[in-house]
Structure 1
């Protein structure tokens, strides 16, 4: 009984593995899809090509707003234990500083992708 059950389970597993292999194979191999792609570089080209600073600018802007969210989210818990006017003034001041920084970057041309 146990031997028959073990053989049947193994047959089902092998059948599932076979079907999985049939479904997971790509029908064609594309050179572009199989090559790694990082930060806009072509891995098969010259390694000493100049790098565009725009990638760094986008990453820095993302980090600034990511840190903003990380600093704003704990304020939600403080609403129960603090005075609402203090939280409102603090959050407005914080968002004003970030908005002025974004406006300054915009005026300096840091947000323009093509110059």
Structure 2
């Protein structure tokens, strides 16, 4: 039986999410919010339909759920102010489970009026 290291399995998860994202043609031409989670921080990046990262938001020491929710709220406010015609985005969890801080970022974006 082949055993994978945790770094390999993380990369495999990210590749699987990317394949599913690219397979859905209706998602390919939409802008998205991509989330990266480390032990101390959480990052949310706005990527437009052409694949260009326009904004990345993080807070220092955003290692808890309350700070992650603030990151999501700031991202939602930025989308509403800069991208006035943007009503919805695709949420890319980047292979992380939709739980805890990742879910808090999504909830913060939803609370600011952006559909996911």
TM-score computed with the length of structure 1 as normaliser: 0.26
Q: Tell me: higher relative CO, structure 1 or 2? Use CA pairs within 8 A at least 6 residues apart.
A: 2
Higher helix share: 1
Higher strand share: 2
TM-score computed with the length of structure 2 as normaliser: 0.26
User: Which protein has the larger Cα radius of gyration, Structure 1 or Structure 2?
Assistant: 1
